[in-house]
C-alpha cells in the first residue's frame, strides 16, 4: 500500500479514497507557531499514516468511480470501533468533502469539521489554513483541476 495523500492510497493497481473526506492539498502551506511554512497536505498525510499504523483500520467499499474505490474505514482503539474519516476530521487534519453544489457528501462530517474549527484543533489552530474546497473551487473556475 502506498499513501498518496491524507485521504487516498494505492494498493497494487487499485486507487482508494476515504468517502466524504478531503485532506489538505499537497503543495499548499500554512504557517506554524514558529513562523515556518509547512506543507498542509503532508500534515494530513502524516496523520493518516499514523492512524493506519496505530489502528490497522478495516475498510468497506461504499462507492466506485471509473478510477477510484471510495471506502469507509473503521479503526479499533481500545474496545471502540471508530470511523477513520471522523477521526481525521475531528482531529483537524481533514475536511468534509463537498459536491459540485458546495454541499457535504456526508453531512455529519461537516458538523464534526465545524466543531474542530471552533475548537481550533489540528490545522485549524493556524490562521492561514485554507479549506481545500475553496482552492479546488478556484482551480475548477479557472479550468485547472488538480485534487
Taking the model in full, what pTM does it have? Answer: 0.88
The answer to whether residue 21 sits within a structural domain is yes
Structural domains in the chain (count): 1
Q: HSE-up of 32 (CA within 13 Å, CB side)?
A: 8
The answer to whether residue 145 sits within a structural domain is no
The answer to whether residue 147 sits within a structural domain is no
The answer to whether residue 63 sits within a structural domain is yes
Spell out the residues 6+ positions from residue 145 whose beta carbon is closer than 8 angstroms to its own: 136, 139
User: Which ranges constitute the DSSP H helices of the chain?
Assistant: 40-55, 84-90, 107-119, 132-141
Helices and strands, counts by H and E, the chain: 4, 10
Domain containing 110: what range?
2-138
Tens of pLDDT along the chain (147 residues) come to: 999 999 999 999 999 999 999 999 999 999 999 999 999 999 999 999 999 999 999 999 999 999 999 999 999 999 999 999 999 999 999 999 998 888 999 999 999 999 999 999 999 999 999 888 766 555 444 444 444
End-to-end CA distance of the chain: 20
Provide the CATH number for the domain around residue 61: 2.40.50.90
The answer to whether residue 71 sits within a structural domain is yes
Question: Within 10 Å of residue 67's Cβ, how many Cβ atoms?
Answer: 8
The answer to whether residue 113 sits within a structural domain is yes
The answer to whether residue 46 sits within a structural domain is yes
The answer to whether residue 143 sits within a structural domain is no
Amino acid at each position: 500500500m502506498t499513501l498518496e495523500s491524507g485521504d487516498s492510497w494505492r494498493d497494487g493497481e487499485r486507487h482508494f479514497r476515504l468517502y466524504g473526506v478531503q485532506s489538505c492539498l499537497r503543495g499548499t502551506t500554512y504557517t506554524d507557531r514558529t513562523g515556518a511554512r509547512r506543507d498542509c497536505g503532508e500534515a494530513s498525510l502524516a496523520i493518516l499514516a499514523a492512524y493506519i499504523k496505530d489502528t490497522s483500520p478495516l475498510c468497506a467499499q461504499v462507492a466506485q468511480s471509473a478510477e477510484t474505490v471510495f471506502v469507509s474505514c473503521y479503526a479499533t482503539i481500545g474496545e471502540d470501533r471508530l470511523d477513520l474519516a471522523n477521526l481525521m476530521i475531528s482531529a483537524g487534519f481533514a475536511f468534509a468533502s463537498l459536491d459540485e453544489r458546495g454541499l457535504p457528501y456526508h453531512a455529519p462530517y461537516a458538523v464534526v469539521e465545524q466543531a474542530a474549527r471552533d475548537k481550533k484543533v489540528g490545522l485549524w489552530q493556524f490562521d492561514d489554513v485554507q479549506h481545500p474546497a475553496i482552492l479546488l473551487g478556484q482551480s475548477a473556475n479557472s479550468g485547472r483541476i488538480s485534487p
